[in-house]
Amino acid sequence: MKNNEEIKIDGIVCAVESASGYTFKNKKLLVRALTHSSASHTENYEQLEFLGDSVIQLAVSKWLYDRGGSEGEMTAQRQKLVSHIPLKCASEALGLTEHIIKGVRDVGEKALSSVYEAVAGAIFADGGFKAAEKFVTKTLLSAHLKAPINYKGALQEYVQAHGRPLPEYNTRRSGGTPNAPEFVCDVLVCGRSFTGTGGSKGEAEKSAAKSALDSLKH
């Protein structure tokens, strides 16, 4: 008969498997991936975190390669996607925050991205790269696709990757009515001018940046 701690661990495993969409053959791998060093100095997630870091890097690299882009663009995108904040957000979306097995009350924010890497590493160790790639695509990359695109930031990254001067924005016209304001903005980039419109100066600049990106990338 299982004790209370074993029943609790079984519940955690079941919840994480359901959220991740992957069922482990070796449940101990998942338990280890969720175990902070404050709970165990030997059977914790640190080694799986190391493995998961490489697995995520490869999965993201392959995803970016399949979508196309210059080496500079892909490198910059990968660096963003595998950084602490996106991994932390993916971890929180999966509910891993509630399922970290720990020996102290507060394990720190870094643990959230670390445990996500460890779970990816555990899935790779249990089911191979295809399973880990599916997990990363579902929990990290799909969320990235749903996020609003920062066109101004993307345009700046594009010109920096190509060694060109930074974009220059100029609000050409503002008007409309108090209830429906309209702004027209130009952006000068790579020796060309692109125009955007919007209900605010910021929206017009985003629209101009999008026009520039769409043109420069095709």
Lowest mean pLDDT among 11-20, 23-32, 103-112: 103-112
Q: Identify the CA nearest to 133 among candidates 6, 20, 2, 11.
A: 20
The pLDDT score that the predictor gives to residue 3 is 67
Q: What is the rounded average pLDDT of the residues 27-36?
A: 95
Q: What confidence tens digit (pLDDT) does each residue in 155-204 have?
A: 888 888 888 999 999 998 877 777 778 899 999 999 999 999 988 888 89
Percent of the chain topping pLDDT 70: 95
Q: What confidence tens digit (pLDDT) does each residue in 101-128 have?
A: 988 878 888 899 999 999 999 999 999 9
Average pLDDT of the residues of the chain: 89
The distance from CA 121 to its chain's CA centroid, rounded to whole angstroms, is 16
Domains, the chain, in order of start with CATH, read: 4-147 (1.10.1520.10), 152-216 (3.30.160.20)
The pLDDT score that the predictor gives to residue 24 is 96
| Identified catalytic residue from 117, 126, 186, 205 | 117
Q: Is 117 a catalytic residue?
A: yes
Burial of 83 (0-12, 13-18, 19+ CB in 10 A): exposed
Q: What confidence tens digit (pLDDT) does each residue in 58-83 have?
A: 999 999 888 877 788 888 889 989 99
Confidence at 131, pLDDT banded by 50, 70, 90: very high
Asked if the model's pLDDT at residue 147 lies above 60, the reply is no
Separation between Cα atoms, residue 193 and residue 174, nearest integer Å: 18
Beta sheet of 181-189, edge-to-edge order: 168-176, 181-189, 192-198
The pLDDT score that the predictor gives to residue 91 is 93
Separation between Cα atoms, residue 170 and residue 195, nearest integer Å: 10
Lowest mean pLDDT among 26-40, 87-101, 150-164, 193-207: 150-164
Q: Is 6 a catalytic residue?
A: no
Burial of 66 (0-12, 13-18, 19+ CB in 10 A): exposed
Query: Cβ(118)–Cβ(33) under 8 Å?
Result: yes
